[in-house]
Amino acid sequence: MMGYGRMYARLGLMAFISALLVGGCTSMGTSVPVIERAPIAKKVPGKGRGKEEDWRPHSYTVQKGDTLYGIALEYGFDYKEVAEWNNIESPYTIRVGQQLKLTASHSAVVVTPLKSASAVASEDGMLKTQPKALRQPYSERVEKSAATVAKAEVQAKPAAEEKPALDEKKDSAPTDDDERVEWAWPTAGKVVTGFNEASSAGKGLDISGKNGQPVLAAAPGKVVYSGSGLRGYGKLVIIKHNKTYLSAYAHNRQILTKEGQSVVKGQKIAEMGDSDADQVKLHFEIRRLGKPVDPAKYLPNDKSS
C-alpha cells in the first residue's frame, strides 16, 4: 500500500508541475507586446510640385508664310523683343530658313585679374609675385619722396560716382512672373464659339456684339502689338500682362491704343468690328507661355465683373 501511495504522490506532483508550466506559458503568451505601425501617409496629388517649366525652344526656323508678329504671338513674346534678339530692324522682314533666337543671349564676360604692383616678370617668362629685396640706406630725402607719392595717389583717386535716383513715377508694365492675374470679361455679349484646342480657329472665344461696342482690357498690362499684320485676326491688339500671360483682341473696327502703352483692367482699348471676319464679333484669346488656353477657365462667372 505504501508503494502505491508514493506512486500516487509522484503523479500528483507531476500534474501540479505541469499545470504550473501550462499556466506560465499562457500568461507569458498574453504579455507579448504588440507593435502598432503608423499608417503610411498618402501623397496629395499636385502638392509639392514645382512650377511648370517653360516649354519654349531657344530658337525657331522660319517657315513659309511666317511673320515676326505671328512667331512672337505663338511663343508668347513681344515681337520687338524677338527683333532685338536677332538684330532685325523695321519693317521686320524675315526669310524662310532663317534661324531666330527666342531668348536674349548674353555674351560671356571674361574676367582678367589685374597684376599687382609687386608682380615682376622674370627673364624666363615666369611671373614672380614678390619684389627683389634691396637694401637702401635711410635718408630724410627718401622718406619725403615716399610721402609725396602717397599724397599724390590719394588726390588722384576719382570721387565715388553718384548713382542716379530711380524715377518712381516711370510708367512700366508688370514683369514679375506671377500667375495671379485678375481677369475680367473683355466685352458684353454671347459666346458664339467656344475654345477648341484641336481647331486652328478655336484658340479663344468668339463673343458677338454690335459694331462699335467697347472692347476692354481683360487685365492690366502693356500693349505689345497694335495693328493688322497678322492674317486672320484683322485689327488686333495684344497685351502682355507679365512674363507668363498675353491676351489678344481681334476683328476690331477701330484700335484706341498704341504699342508700348500701359493699360488697366477695364480700360477701353478698341471698338468691336468685323475686320477679317464674317460677322461683327470679338475674338478673345489668353495665352500662357505662348500656348492658347481656355479663357472660360480664367474669366469670372459674372460677366459684369
Q: Which residues of the chain have pLDDT under 50?
A: 1-2, 22, 24-50, 106-125, 127-134, 142, 146, 149-150, 154, 156-176
Q: Is 250 left (phi over 0), alpha (psi -120 to 50) or beta?
A: beta
The pLDDT, as a whole number, for residue 148 is 54
Cβ burial 75-110 (10 Å sphere, 16+ → b, else e): bbbbbbebbebbebeeebebeeeeebebeeeeeeee
The pLDDT, as a whole number, for residue 282 is 98
The pLDDT, as a whole number, for residue 198 is 78
Helix (H, G, I), strand (E, B) or coil at 5: helix
The pLDDT, as a whole number, for residue 57 is 86
Contact 204, 249 (CB under 8 A): no
- Residue 68: alpha-carbon gap to chain centroid: 23
Q: Do domains 59-101 and 191-297 have the same CATH topology?
A: no
CATH code at 59-101: 3.10.350.10
Contact 103, 86 (CB under 8 A): no
Residue with cell 548713382: 163
Question: Does CATH place domain 191-297 in 2.70.70.10?
Answer: yes
What are the φ and ψ backbone dihedral angles of 21, each rounded to 5 degrees? -65, -45
Q: Where are the chain's structural domains? A: 59-101, 191-297
